[in-house]
Amino acid sequence: MTKKQKKMLTRIIAAAVLLILLNFLPVTGIIRFVLFLIPYLIVGYDILKKAWKGILNRQVFDENFLMAVATVGAIAIAFYEKSGDFNEAVAVMLFYQIGELFQSYAVGKSRRNISELMDIRPDYANIEQDGSLEQVDPDEVEIGTVIIVQPGEKVPIDGVVVEGTSTLNTSALTGESVPREAKAGDEIISGCINLTGVLKIRTTKEFGESTVSKVLELVEESTSRKSRSENFISKFAKYYTPAVCYGALALAVLPPLVRMFAMGAAPQWNDWIYRALTFLVISCPCALVISIPLSFFAGIGGASHEGILVKGSNYLEALSKTKYVVFDKTGTLTQGIFEVVGVHHNQMEEKQLLEYAALAESASSHPISKSIQRAYGKELDRSRVSEIEEISGNGITAKVDGRSVAAGNVKLMDRLGIPYKSCHKVGTIIHMAIDGEYAGHIVISDVEKPTSKEAIAKLKQAGIQKTIMLTGDAKQVADQVAADLGIDEVHSELLPGDKVEQVERLLAEKPAKANLAFVGDGINDAPVLGRADIGIAMGAMGSDAAIEAADVVLMDDDPLKIVKAIRISKKCLGIVYQNIVFALAVKGACLILGALGIANMWLAIFADVGVMVLAILNAMRTLFVKKL
């Protein structure tokens, strides 16, 4: 609990103890009145102060005004009737403050889930100068600087490991509790905690553009974007509170006047004023005004804890209505890393074929060439290679150990007049020829993410009506991936502009109340992310432009997080609607009972504080996310 919450708890306990003790004292009259004012003022002086300030600022109608009028009125009636029963007024203020304390604690708990992310903000970066480490402000570190991260320290800036091995705790960013291994050559994102070894990292971004800064910026902005439900409740409360105040005034004045002038009976002012005061306590809109924003706030907090950054409650609400999910392929459903998935050879051994291919490709930085070099797995002796010639759109020819080697596509084989064998596998095919003879071919493919197929299946279980894949890849490759993953519709060989056209078409075809989400990671996906009803970016490896354009950012690039995000949003919206219906139904019934004189202040306390506490407890369920 915070210092302020502890102070409030002390006031509540003190007032409660005094209230109980005063009921055992045999005092009456003015002394009893003064004694009961002590616990009343201890627990409620700030409510009276806020109500008075509201009146002075001409912002009269709020819950503080309702509680002040209701409790002061109840005390006045008890004093006027000389009943000495001041328990109700003190109890109403006491239980109201209990509800406020509970609400403050609940908001604090959900806020802590989000503010835990703030702990990833690094305080310093280590730079080695003259044989010793110097701590500098991360903002002062330029791109290309080598920084040193020791065990237990946060990685302050994005970069590439140049020396050292270690394990990293990425849970604050990704929600994944399993540590990640890091070694020389690996890309590292800021915000991770170095657990074991010392790492030397060459920075690739300035601190202001690094992952940790982007994440903090998104979190800080997330609470400023309100959903339709929140805006509705705010407008509802704006008109509702004055309406019930005037309704209570009418209830206090009109029935007595009717009895007196129309019926010739005694007006019974005290009875009707008491009913009006009860009506005011019941009508306090705390349950709605507090629980609805809290539900969304807790939902954003629960999602953040799972490594899903939702930029605002409006996007959380829109996500719950998603029925169509459109995917980019490379880097979204696939790893975006090309790997050798097959080596088909004639007479030459597989290892030797790979060696010739790796040596021939050793001067190229193309992803295909790099994948062949990785598959070979040994250090390349560039002195064995000569006469390298790269033929654009065809492949490479070279001399390896004095032998002529050609590695490329079918165009290269046709160009050299070498008969080749076709391959039944889907992927990029690198045909190999040694000394003018066909030696075999290597199959290279972009590997599917291990959770992609499961994610598509669970999206359909979660109520997604249609999954679509848009890609610039060849039709054969795209169709194969779509078939493997169970995607309903696929469009291939698309340029970035073509993707926008496809999304425009899908938006026009879908039902009005169904939302379309687009999931992508690359800079060429930014226009589509912005055009879709909901843009979801793969954050850890995604481009800055994609993250900026998206409404939801997945910090660990796991497609299963899309399912989790949709489930969180649906749970959150379900709880919001439950609270609205429950609060309005209970308050409506109690208002009728209060107006008829059946409900007293104790029922009013339940209708206000009890309903608020139950609604807050229900809202807090959005903090807890079930495992998939």
Residue 142: DSSP 8-state: P
Q: Which of 208, 210, 213 is nearest to 188 (CA)?
A: 210
| Number of C-beta neighbours around residue 593 at 10 A | 18
Residue with tokens 């409790």: 71
Length reported for the chain: 628
d(C-alpha 82, C-alpha 409), whole Å = 102
Helix or strand run (H / E) with residue 599:
none
| Number of C-beta neighbours around residue 482 at 10 A | 23
Q: Which parts of 195-296 are beta strand (E)?
A: 199-203
d(C-alpha 458, C-alpha 475), whole Å = 26
Tokens of 588: 């409506």
d(C-alpha 97, C-alpha 102), whole Å = 8
Q: Which of 384, 426, 388, 430 is nearest to 411 (CA)?
A: 430
Using left for φ > 0, alpha for ψ between -120 and 50, and beta otherwise, residue 493 falls in left
d(C-alpha 581, C-alpha 575), whole Å = 10
Q: What is the dihedral of CA 377, 381, 387, 388, to 10 degrees?
A: 30
| Phi, psi of 177, rounded to the nearest 5 degrees | -80, -20
d(C-alpha 286, C-alpha 612), whole Å = 6
Catalytic residues: 328
Contact 619, 579 (CB under 8 A): yes
Tokens of 423: 């391959």
Strands 403-408 and 199-203: unpaired
3-state secondary structure of 340: strand
Instruction: Give the Cα-Cα-Cα angle 257, 260, 264 (nearest 5 degrees).
Output: 150
Half-sphere exposure at residue 22, Cβ-oriented, CA atoms within 13 angstroms: 23
Residue 154: DSSP 8-state: B
Sorted by sequence, the CB contacts under 8 Å of residue 506 that are 6+ apart come out as: 324, 326, 468, 516
